[in-house]
Structure 1
Amino acid sequence: MHTTTSGSAASADDQAASENAALVDADVIGRTVERALARRAALPPFQELLDLEEILRGHIELLAPIVEAQAARMNRGNTAWYQRRSSLDRARRALSDSMGAGLQSADIHIRELGRVCRSLLDYEQGLR
């Protein structure tokens, strides 16, 4: 997710981030995050978690370039830059993980994707 860009590549990244920002529906993403992080008396069916994983991955892939562009415009090394970079690194790790074979591991993975998505959405919305 982190690349060093210059000149026209940087402007292309900014344009892509702007296009992504136009696609962000914070209410829909927020409801998905709520579903992922909801307290449950019992674990949901595996298929429900698979569906939720696909949706969360799409939200993260939409939000990550926006947060990446924000970080690129900041002074490298300041707190806000570091927080965004950390969230982007966490997103990359979460996206590279799988749900595993069991229901418990799938639920843990979905919760991590939900936390990552919430963090990126907060940055995109200017809440952090």
Structure 2
Amino acid sequence: MDMDRPPATTLNLMQQVPIDAQTISETIRRARQLGSGRPELSEMVELEEVLRGHIALLLAEARKPDRAQGQGSVEANRLTGRLDSIERQTRQGLGRGAPAAHVQVHQLAQDCQWLLARHTAEVGR
């Protein structure tokens, strides 16, 4: 059993939750605005948790078998690598101190934005 992945029952529950693009976009916007001031650590902790939840939903959707793009192709391998990298990033934690937390939240926001854009493009097909 892979201890870094949620249990299958959790993954199944995550796949059943509808993706709310507007809420996810609002969270990304909030995370990106952190650079305009001195955010409280509690705010960064909260944003990290919410972003990780959004990413988990979007990753589950992106990994659905019906989304596969030519298994074994270069494109499929790149996609798998990118999704795996995003998943690893969600397990990094905030690190030590406000600067590390700030970087982590921004990275998660960027990853979340990429996943949301990909999801939106897939839904529009």
Do Structure 1 and Structure 2 share a fold, with TM-score over 0.5? yes
Structure 1 runs of 4+ off > 3 angstroms? 15-18, 77-80
State whether residues 67 and 84 of structure 1, in contact with CA within 8 Å, keep that contact through their aligned partners in structure 2: no
Partner Cα separation in structure 2 for residue 24 and residue 94 of structure 1: 21
Provide the secondary structure at the position in 2 that maps to 1:54.
helix
Shift of 1:39: 6.1
1:67 pairs with 2:62: yes
Which has the larger displacement, 64-73 or 113-122?
Answer: 64-73
1:56 pairs with 42, 48, 51, which one? Answer: 51
- Count of residue pairs the alignment pairs up: 113
Letter in 2 for 1:86: G
TM-aligned CA distance change 1:83 to 1:115, over 3 Å: farther
Q: Which residue does 2:104 correspond to in 1?
A: 109
1:100 pairs with 2:76: no
RMSD: 2.6
State whether residues 14 and 56 of structure 2, in contact with CA within 8 Å, keep that contact through their aligned partners in structure 1: no
Shift of 1:70: 5.7
State whether residues 53 and 110 of structure 1, in contact with CA within 8 Å, keep that contact through their aligned partners in structure 2: yes
State whether residues 90 and 116 of structure 1, in contact with CA within 8 Å, keep that contact through their aligned partners in structure 2: no
Q: Which residue does 2:79 correspond to in 1?
A: 84
What residue ranges of structure 1 are gaps of 5+ in the alignment? 1-14
TM-score if structure 1 supplies the norm length? 0.74
TM-score if structure 2 supplies the norm length? 0.75
1:32 pairs with 2:27: yes
Provide the secondary structure at the position in 2 that maps to 1:36.
helix
State whether residues 17 and 69 of structure 1, in contact with CA within 8 Å, keep that contact through their aligned partners in structure 2: no
- 1:2-17 aligned at under 5 Å gives the runs none
Partner Cα separation in structure 2 for residue 16 and residue 73 of structure 1: 21
TM-aligned CA distance change 1:36 to 1:76, over 3 Å: same
Please list the CA deviations of residues 8-34 of structure 1 after superposition, one character each: whole Å capped at 9, or x if unmatched: xxxxxxx867624xx111011011111
TM-aligned CA distance change 1:90 to 1:63, over 3 Å: same
TM-aligned CA distance change 1:100 to 1:125, over 3 Å: same
